[in-house]
Amino acid sequence: MQLSRRAFLAATGAVAAPLLLPGCGFVGGSGGSGGGTGAEGTLTFTTWGTDAELAGFRSAIEAFQQANEGATVELNAVPYEQMFTNIDAQLQAGNPPDIFRVPYYTFGAYAGAGQLLDLSSHLSDGVQDQFTETAWAAVQNGGSPFGLPHHTDTSAILYNKTLLDAAGVTDVPTSVDDAWSWDELGLVADRLKAGLPSGTYPFAYNWQGNGVTRWLSLLFQADGAFLDTDQRTPLIDSDAGRSAVEFSSSFFRNGWVPDTDTTTSSTYAADTWFSGTVAMVWSGAFQIPDADSTADFEWGVTYAPVGVRGGGDFGGNALVATQATGQPELAASFLEFVTAREQMQGFCQAASLLPTRPDLLDGSLSFDVRPETTDVFVGQAGQVQPQDAAQVASPSMSGIIPVLKTQLDAAFLGSQDAAATVTAMAQGIADATGA
């Protein structure tokens, strides 16, 4: 084969070029009309979502447009994988949508960087009282609300009844007061391990990827905290921190979870449950429609365990308006409309998600799919404390998440003990928050 020098250099240049791409961001094209460049009364709204979630958003938009003549909302639905590279690129280019959807653990990064609209002066009086104290705490930055909590989700335990029955575990908690203690969970796990076929494990925990914040449930159950109320000072180097790391590491040491269940794994916990590799899995309610249509075994839901106290991760998403929006009043009014009782109820019931309004947590909610599981998830959500949710709204979460992932991985699969793990976590968190 003959290759001229010039052709070769051109080919080399072309091949080397993509090396630079990781550093230079992604330019999305959602066509936001922020900055008032769109038609009068038009809002752009970027979100990802399951089919049920997107249907819920579409019907909310339609109702909003009917209730507000002259207002239109353009929905831009994108895959989750592209959502935040897209949003970041638009924010960087000064062309963001007016409104977008954001997980609580990512919210702080945007609010702290001055990218979101401070809603204090745009919301109706008394809006705060419509939300649970926990949900309101999750959208605060520097004492002001920068979004409205649209829904939450928290992890309970989905169990494969066939496997549990086969191992002789027939008594699962049916009320939040009866939830297994950590010790009882250990005993159940040992019984399952003894009774399950080889290659099958008692459970899997859903802390992979950014889901590592779900490990914090164990920290909260140990009555611990990872950040002080200033959202900067690390508090994880504590007895509670060591206890949570020690307990979760014992899942691996005792063979209660597959080794692939670690925080850095590319295998999601739910997949091992669907395939029958594990008997139980920590899971949010959002998984119920999938479980209903996919699982080829009988399954049920029970409560997550209780340590020193009950506790859980505050998952879910807020809706936020961007600082650059040209229509702050209209944007705030849309956020209020979508989080009003009727809209939130319809959205949460169709998509199997938990509401953030106390007037929907009084027994009036019922999931469209497997409605009997609703009370378990609502009861589990009642275990989440406001001070726990507030920590996850830290502007430094994007720096804290990799620290938790790496250190827990070292404790789970490596030989790092609990004391060294929490010390390293505290150091990493301090680096991330600048404390």
Residues interacting with another protein, by CB under 8 A?
1-3, 8, 10-25, 84-85, 88, 91-92, 109, 113-115, 199, 209-210, 258-260, 262, 264-267, 272, 275, 277, 398-399, 401-402, 406, 409-410, 413-414, 432
As separate numbers, helices (DSSP H) first and strands (DSSP E) second, the chain gives 17, 11
Tokens of 153: 């989700």
Tokens of 370: 């497997």
CB closer to another protein out of 15 and 171 = 15
CB closer to another protein out of 66 and 198 = 198
> How far is C-alpha 122 from the geometric centre of its chain's CA atoms?
27
The whole-angstrom separation of Cα 405 and Cα 167 is: 32
Q: How far is the CB of 229 from another protein (least distance, A)?
A: 23
Looking only at the bridges linking them, the beta strands covering 42-47 and 72-77 are: parallel
CB closer to another protein out of 3 and 362 = 3
DSSP-H helix ranges across 231-368: 239-253, 269-274, 288-294, 328-338, 341-351
CB closer to another protein out of 76 and 406 = 406
Burial class (CB in 10 A: 0-12, 13-18, 19+), 125: exposed
Phi first, then psi, for residue 143 (nearest 5°) are 85, 0
Q: How far is the CB of 431 from another protein (least distance, A)?
A: 10
Using CA atoms, how far residue 88 sits from 93, 96, 109, 243, 355, in Å, is 8, 8, 11, 37, 28
- Give residues with Cβ within 8 angstroms of 119, minimum separation 6: 144, 145, 146, 147, 148, 321, 332, 335
> How far is C-alpha 254 from the geometric centre of its chain's CA atoms?
28
CB closer to another protein out of 249 and 385 = 249
Q: How far is the CB of 30 from another protein (least distance, A)?
A: 17
Looking only at the bridges linking them, the beta strands covering 144-145 and 156-160 are: unpaired
CB closer to another protein out of 32 and 311 = 32
Q: How far is the CB of 114 from another protein (least distance, A)?
A: 7
Q: How far is the CB of 275 from another protein (least distance, A)?
A: 5
Q: How far is the CB of 395 from another protein (least distance, A)?
A: 10
CB closer to another protein out of 42 and 272 = 272
SS3 call for 120:
coil
Using CA atoms, how far residue 198 sits from 192, 195, 260, 267, 277, in Å, is 11, 9, 16, 20, 10
Q: If you write DSSP's letter for every residue of 217-255 in order, what string do you get?
A: HHHHHTT--SB-TTS-SB--SSHHHHHHHHHHHHHHHTT
Q: How far is the CB of 224 from another protein (least distance, A)?
A: 24
CB closer to another protein out of 182 and 252 = 252
Q: How far is the CB of 277 from another protein (least distance, A)?
A: 5
Q: How far is the CB of 48 from another protein (least distance, A)?
A: 16
CB closer to another protein out of 167 and 401 = 401
- Percent helix, percent strand, percent coil in the chain, to nearest 5: 50, 15, 35
The whole-angstrom separation of Cα 49 and Cα 60 is: 14
